[in-house]
Amino acid sequence: MDITVFGSGYVGLVTAACFADAGNSVVCVDVDAGRVETLSQGEVPFYEPGLDQMVRANFQQGRLRFTTDAEEGVRHGLFQFIAVGTPPGEDGSADLKYVLQVADTIGSLMHDYRVVVTKSTVPVGTADKVRDALLAAQQRRGESVEFDVVSNPEFLKEGAAIADFTRPDRIVIGTDNPRTAELMRALYAPFNHNHDRIVVMDVRSSELTKYAANAMLATRISFMNELANVAEKVGADIEKVRVGIGSDPRIGYDFIYPGCGYGGSCFPKDVKALVHTAAESGHLATLLAAVEDVNQRQKRVLFERIRKHFGNDLKGRTIALWGLAFKPKTDDMREASSRVLMEALWEAGAKVRAFDPVAMPETQKIYGERADLTLCDSAEAACEGADVLAIVTEWKQFRSPNFDRLKKLLKQPTIFDGRNLYDPQLMKRQGFAYYSIGRVPVGV
């Protein structure tokens, strides 16, 4: 099939590459000429395991190409995917400017039937706005060309996006036209062999499904973080509580890990957008607002503990930091807990020596050269001359460090663990003061 994808960011590029890898002919359109040139040279401008190889292979075999020419894109694909950004506004609402610009472009250039698919995460009612933009563009040029608008939200986890796309849990299709549903079924047939994963529903339900899924997962995380804070107060171990409740099949073990807050491009933005959508419809979403409030508070937990440990005086202190990305297997630092911690430490007069396996270029891009930030070549190097160690990302290579070596590198054998990587009793035997989440500190 012939497919056009508008937007070569995270969602757009994964979508384009995976469809091309299944044998389709895909054109990816982006207004950023520099990005188009970079992608045409086989370079992916962000980290996602396996994506660079997939992009290069399909580009070389002619199934995937990149262009700034919107007319070429509209002419090429029966399916026109809109996968551009929807950045949050100050009030938490999703900014649909880029989505509607693409819809206007498609409407201005289309001459044959097209299926216009919103892949971006968008508020309920966006498909209606896309339809209106398409009709308005056609009216301006005095033409009327048939089209359908479909909601097809993405459910990609950063770090596992290719697997999520090619072996999905579900493929949600929002359309009121049975013919369009069948076209979408045919498009997704290569990823729907084992059993039927396609769920067809009305457009508005599809749009809400994406927000509901992310809000539910965020709620589980904030719930566990709230419980973790209670556990510390009453002398319980949240990790044992986690196993105790996770063994209940009605609850399960996914997304009930306590930590120093969630981040990334999805959960924070989508929870705020859903709160805003609820308010616009006349409903006060108290629970969802609390989910985000708990998360913002949780992101400051490590800083508050570090500050208290040093008697509220961090001037001249150096903190080693392991992990900068908001989670492993990505270089994404949007809304990352590391940023909240670093910025609070700098404001208090401390310096940071940081290491992350893939996110240090992104850190450099965000913060530039700073006298109070040193990006180190290894986890051990980050500890050299540092007073204490803080951990905010649970990369596998941080799980089994040489603790004897760490004790020699750190001025104080003290670890602030925001991801509960280690057993408190082991840390006590190793001679560390160890602060974690939802467990009583040891060695203090």
Answer whether residue 194 shows pLDDT above 80: no
Q: Return the exposure string of 10-34: e unless at least 16 CB atoms fall within 10 Å of the residue's CB, then b.
A: bbbbbbbbbbbbbebbbbbbbbeee
Model confidence pLDDT, tens digit, residues 319-330: 999 999 999 999
Q: Which amino acid would we find at residue 292?
A: E
Model confidence pLDDT, tens digit, residues 297-342: 999 999 999 999 999 999 999 999 999 999 999 999 999 999 999 9
How would DSSP label each residue in 326-341?
SSTT----TT-HHHHH
Confidence of residue 169 (pLDDT cuts 50, 70, 90): very high
Lowest mean pLDDT among 52-66, 192-206, 412-426: 192-206
Provide the pairing of β-strand 79-82 with 114-118: parallel
Coil, helix or strand for 142? Answer: coil
Distance CA 312, CA 306 (A): 8
CA distances from 11 to 153, 196, 347 (A): 10, 23, 35
Mean pLDDT of 247-257: 97
Residue 18: predicted pLDDT: 98
Q: What is the chain's length?
A: 444
Answer whether residue 174 shows pLDDT above 80: yes
Catalytic one of 28, 260, 266, 383: 266
Residue 90: predicted pLDDT: 80
How would DSSP label each residue in 93-113?
-B--HHHHHHHHHHHHH--S-
If one compares 88 and 56, the residue with the highest pLDDT of the two is: 56
Answer whether residue 88 shows pLDDT above 90: no
Q: Which amino acid would we find at residue 145?
A: V
Residue 46: predicted pLDDT: 93
Answer whether residue 92 shows pLDDT above 90: no
Confidence of residue 91 (pLDDT cuts 50, 70, 90): confident
Coil, helix or strand for 241? Answer: helix
Coil, helix or strand for 418? Answer: coil
For the sheet containing 114-118, what is the strand order? Answer: 64-67, 25-29, 2-6, 79-82, 114-118, 147-151, 171-174, 198-201
Answer whether residue 104 shows pLDDT above 90: yes
Contact 415, 346 (CB under 8 A): no
Distance CA 318, CA 411 (A): 10
Residue 265: predicted pLDDT: 87
CA distances from 237 to 64, 251, 300, 427 (A): 51, 19, 20, 15
Residue 193: predicted pLDDT: 83
Model confidence pLDDT, tens digit, residues 355-397: 999 999 999 999 999 999 999 999 999 999 999 999 999 999 9
Residue 270: predicted pLDDT: 94
Model confidence pLDDT, tens digit, residues 105-155: 999 999 999 999 999 999 999 999 999 999 999 999 999 999 999 999 999
If one compares 89 and 70, the residue with the highest pLDDT of the two is: 70
Catalytic residue status for 266: yes
- For the chain, what is the mean pLDDT? 96
Residue 277: predicted pLDDT: 94
